[in-house]
Structure 1
Amino acid sequence: MGSELASALRSTALEWRATDRRYTLEADGWRSFQPIQNQEGGDPVIVVVRLHADTAIPDSVSVLELQFVKDDVVWAPPHVSEVRREAGSSTMELVVRNGPGEWAPGDSVDVIARLRDGGATSLVRAPRFVIARVD
């Protein structure tokens, strides 16, 4: 089941057009190995996901769900830690903390978001961001 779901999610479109807007995703992720705050072996993955639109993102747009795919493993965080959006901006940021601790710096991960714009929903994908290491 995991490999079938992972494969299906990896085939998600890279953009979505809805209500005269084009949406795309971008993501950056890292694990901290700084001795001041880390657990032995480093902190879990943190990911910042950016939803971009070609015009201002209205308040009616929301991210309903995020899923992350590494190899055949799909991780769906139980919640988003932070949502950053400014009125009139064409970018919304979502911060997800406490990702899989076994995912290592250098691993390649796809992120898939389920978006809602008004009454329409769709999936959009940011392919292959690489987990960075912070020392």
Structure 2
Amino acid sequence: MRARPRRDALRDKAGYAAVDALVALMILAAVLVSSITATHGSREAADLALEFRRASEMSAYLLETAPAEPGQTSGQSADFAWTRTVSEPVGTFGSGAICERRVVLTGARDNRRFEARTNAVCPAALES
């Protein structure tokens, strides 16, 4: 005669299977939440990096194309509103003078502010 498994033993095995399934579902849910959070974070980082690159390129262009005369100009592009300022000479060296050029960009989407500055020789000061 063969011994039949007891009902309690069968119920215990079914209980372990249910607990194992619940643990597996919790692990799966945790992995899914973590991966969605990581994906969202990496997407935000990529967007910020792209905005920073565009701001860097635009500020370099605006600084290079700044007029020689002191004054302020402003404008707007699809991504940024900008203000470019060329200051009066801040220091003279012999027959030359140094002027500061400054660009302030404000993001159109999130109002993030970027600023760049450089010094340049003022041609007007060289003429006098």
Which is greater in Rg? 2
Tell whether the structures are fold-level matches, with TM greater than 0.5: no
TM-score (norm 1): 0.34
Structure ranking higher in helix proportion:
2
Which one scores higher on RCO, CA 8 angstroms, separation ≥ 6?
1
